[in-house]
Structure 1
Amino acid sequence: MNPDRQAQFEAEALSRRVLVHDILRRLRGQPNDLLPYSVIASLRPRGESYRGLQTIEVDKIVGSVDRYGDFDAEFLPKEPHTLDRWAQLRQAQLQGAEFPPIDVYKVGEAYFVKDGNHRTALAKALGQRYIDAYVIELEVPVELAPGDTLKDVILKGEYARFLEQTRLPQLRPGHEPILFSKPGRYDVLLEHIRTHQYFMGLDQKRSVSWEEAVADWYDQLYLPTILEIRESGVLKDFPGRTEADLYLWISDHRYFLSKALGHDVGPEEALRSAQRQAHNPLRRWLERLSSWLLPKSLQPQ
């Protein structure tokens, strides 16, 4: 088979493959879009460095600077003109052509193509493991992983903003990660810290700085609760949730429980109450009806 016919034959097979991928992702409720590089702005990049020519893993290329609409989540061509260009490159490759390195941005362990989208699509379709690339690496407070979806990027963007506002990496280097399962929770956490700052000022009869409040909140409230969560193993009773999700619920639960009992119950007693609710048969029955007996901080969207 001559290179032209073989390239066209492979392009037709690839078109069917892309269609099957799209159907399967829709059935699974999975997004089938390539990540746009523009979402990286939400991660608060602090600078970039040119790393030169490197050999990178093709599977870690997850997005594009300006051609993300032409490819699916697997970086395979989904538009007719993109498929035609893919076939032209494949024909040239079969005829012995060698292609120059692509240009990429590196964000954590993931890469976004600046130049060379069709060459990347060719490598992806053929199962190529590595590709040469000129790399520009971005410095971000929260790194991306190759399997991250747009929702993951949004969550990590909110986390980056939270870290910037609290200066937690500077105040507590090596702090425990604070990760949520749904957007919008970091604003609630900031309000918790502001409330803690207010009551610290009342207790100590002085003005308490934001940095002091953040550090004390982490040391006296967040970290002890997280350690209790880990020691108890209660997180397994809340599938799909994170330690930070459970921290917010326990904090709210602790407040209302303390009001009801007339004294501060502490994180241990609040956690035991959470475990009792987690094992409540009625609660599990209601969960099967998609009604969570939890405040909004743990309700699924």
Structure 2
Amino acid sequence: MDSEHQAQLEAEALSRRVLVHDILRRLRGQPNDLLPYSAVSSLRPRGESYKGLQTIEVDKIIGSVDRYGDFDAEFMPKEPFTLDRWTKLRQAQLEGVEFPPIHVYKVGDAYFVKDGNHRTALAKAQGQHYIDAYVIELEVPVDLDPDDTLKDVILKGEYAAFLEQTRLPELRPHHEPILFSRPGRYDVLLDHIRTHQYFMGLDQKRSIGWEEAVADWYDNLYLPTILEIRENGVLKNFPGRTEADLYLWISDHRYFLSQAIGHDVGPEEAALSVQRSVQKGPISRFLDWLGRFFVRQSPQPG
């Protein structure tokens, strides 16, 4: 069989594979898009450095600079002209042509193709484990992983903005990661810190700077709550959620619990209360909530 015919047969098989892959991902509710490099700007890159020629893992290539619309999430060609270009490259490969290295941006532990998209698609389709690439590495405060989706990039972009606004990496270099399972929660966290800053000023009868408030919030509110979550194993009752998700819930729970019993409760008491509530059945939880509601609504002693 000549190289042209073999390449054509392989392209037809690849086309069927791409179709099946697309159907399966749709049925699973999974996105089937290659990540655009433009999304990386949300990670607040601080600079870049040229790393030269390296051998990189093909499976860690997750996006493209300008051809992300031509390939699916597995970097397989999904457009006719893209498949045609892939076929010609495969024919050249069968005829013994050696391809030059591709060019990529490295972001965390993932790569985005700057030049060599079809060569990358060919390597992916052939099950190739490594490929030579000229690498430019971006310095970002929040790293990407090879299995990250666009949703993950959006979340990490919000996290990068939060770290930039709070300067937490400088204030607490070894801080615990603050990760959420859905967008929009870092703004709520910033409101928590501003509220904490306000009450610190009232308690201490002086003006409290932003960085002081951030550090105090982390040391005396966020970190103690996270440690209690871990110690009491609360997170296991919330599959798909994160410690930061639970922190916000416990913070609200702590407020209402404090209102119900008439004094402020600490992170441990609030975390244990959430744990007990989750371990009960729905009727018991509802009755607990109803009881707390009536306690809050009852007139308090003057």
Q: 1:209 and 2:241 equivalent?
A: no
Structure 1 letter corresponding to 2:158: E
Residue aligning to 1:129? 129
Q: Distance in 2 between matches of 1:3 and 1:285?
A: 68
Structure 2 letter corresponding to 1:282: P
Residue aligning to 2:117? 117
Is residue 277–residue 283 contact of structure 1 (8 Å, CA) maintained in 2? no
Q: Distance in 2 between matches of 1:259 and 1:64?
A: 52
Is residue 278–residue 285 contact of structure 2 (8 Å, CA) maintained in 1? no
Residue aligning to 1:31? 31
State the identity %: 83
TM-score when scaled to structure 2?
A: 0.93
Q: Distance in 1 between matches of 2:154 and 2:2?
A: 47
Shift in Å, 1:285: 10
Residue aligning to 1:9? 9
Structure 1 letter corresponding to 2:225: T
**Change in 2 beyond 3 A, CA 1:16/1:283:** farther
Residue aligning to 2:93? 93
Q: Name stretches of at least 5 consecutive residues in structure 1 with no aligned partner.
A: 287-301
Residue aligning to 1:141? 141
Helix, strand or coil for the counterpart of 1:220? helix
Q: Distance in 2 between matches of 1:219 and 1:212?
A: 11
Q: Distance in 1 between matches of 2:54 and 2:216?
A: 44
Residues 78-122 of structure 1: CA deviation (Å, up to 9, x unaligned): 000000000000000000100000000000000000000000000
3-12 vs 276-285, which moves further: 276-285
* Aligned pairs for 1:63-212 within 5 A: 63-212=63-212
Structure 2 letter corresponding to 1:277: S
Structure 1 letter corresponding to 2:190: L
Helix, strand or coil for the counterpart of 1:181? coil
Structure 2 letter corresponding to 1:162: F
Shift in Å, 1:32: 0.3
Is residue 277–residue 285 contact of structure 2 (8 Å, CA) maintained in 1? no
Shift in Å, 1:284: 10
Residues 39-81 of structure 1: CA deviation (Å, up to 9, x unaligned): 0000000000000000000000000000000000000000000
Is residue 51–residue 137 contact of structure 1 (8 Å, CA) maintained in 2? yes
Q: Distance in 1 between matches of 2:257 and 2:162?
A: 28
Q: Distance in 1 between matches of 2:158 and 2:47?
A: 19
Q: Distance in 2 between matches of 1:133 and 1:247?
A: 42
Q: Distance in 2 between matches of 1:200 and 1:78?
A: 57
Q: Name stretches of at least 5 consecutive residues in structure 2 with no aligned partner.
A: 287-302
Helix, strand or coil for the counterpart of 2:224? helix
Shift in Å, 1:273: 1.3
Q: Distance in 2 between matches of 1:4 and 1:273?
A: 69
Q: Distance in 1 between matches of 2:285 and 2:27?
A: 27
Structure 1 letter corresponding to 2:103: D
Helix, strand or coil for the counterpart of 1:62? strand
Residue aligning to 2:290? none
Helix, strand or coil for the counterpart of 1:265? coil
Shift in Å, 1:258: 0.7
Q: Distance in 2 between matches of 1:266 and 1:177?
A: 22
Residue aligning to 2:268? 268
- The alignment of Structure 1 onto Structure 2 pairs a total of residues equal to 286
TM-score when scaled to structure 1?
A: 0.94
Is residue 257–residue 265 contact of structure 2 (8 Å, CA) maintained in 1? yes
Shift in Å, 1:26: 0.5
Residue aligning to 2:297? none
RMSD: 1.2
